[in-house]
Amino acid sequence: MIEGQDKERHVLFLHGLFGKAQSFQFLAKAKDIQKNYTCHLLDMRNHGASQRDTLMDYESMARDIKGYMDSAGLTGAKQGVTLVGHSLGAKTAMTFAAMFPDLVHRLVSLDASPVDRRAMPHLNESSERMIEEAIRLGSLEGMGLKNAIKKIKTEVKDEVLQTALLFNLNSDCSFQVNL
């Protein structure tokens, strides 16, 4: 949490696939945001420091956000929170707003439209391709950080995925995203 001058207004930032809480840190620390909101940077399920779970759907992630809000004392606020989500985070934010409409004051969706992607599987192809490529990379643990970075840069052709994996690489060569 990054406490702002206004302790009554809260914004929750929800990152995208292969992201982590720090993805929105630059925005949460902006002076105008700090003046008007207390910011919460959340690690989505199976990302960053969050819990690992085999179940990864929008409803479960929306309930994770509700659990966070309960524990942070945000569900009793006078006005709901503002949700800012990117891609996976945006879809989760939309699901949360549908499940808990009284808890949402505003919703900002970045790079995600409110459509059911199951009905349009072609929209999932790039995400599925990135997930498959990341899984194919395999475990990097025990190979040393320099070699792990080299392997990612050599074997991962997609530059966006390459950057995301390097962003999620720990010093012991494990990933902060659950692959």
Task: Give the confidence band of 115 by pLDDT, cuts at 50, 70, 90.
Answer: low
Q: How many helical (H) and strand (E) elements, i.e. helices and strands, does the chain have?
A: 7, 4
3-state SS assignment for residue 85: strand
- Sheet of 81-86: strands edge to edge? 38-42, 10-14, 81-86, 104-110
Find, among 60, 26, 25, the residue nearest to 44 by Cα. Answer: 60
pLDDT of 107 over the 80 cut: yes
Lookup result for tokens 């995203």: 177
pLDDT of 70 over the 90 cut: yes
pLDDT of 25 over the 80 cut: yes
- 53 close to 60: Cβ distance less than 8 angstroms: yes
Kind and range of the H or E run holding 107: strand 104-110
* C-alpha–C-alpha distance, residues 44 and 163, integer Å: 18
Mean pLDDT, the chain, integer = 85
Q: Is the dihedral of CA 34, 35, 37, 38 positive or negative?
A: positive
Q: Which domains does the chain have, with CATH numbers?
A: 10-114 (3.40.50.1820), 124-167 (no CATH)
What is the reported pLDDT for 134?
82
> Kind of pairing, strands 81-86 and 38-42?
unpaired
What is the reported pLDDT for 91?
92
pTM for this model (two decimals): 0.77
Find, among 30, 63, 25, 27, the residue nearest to 44 by Cα. Answer: 63
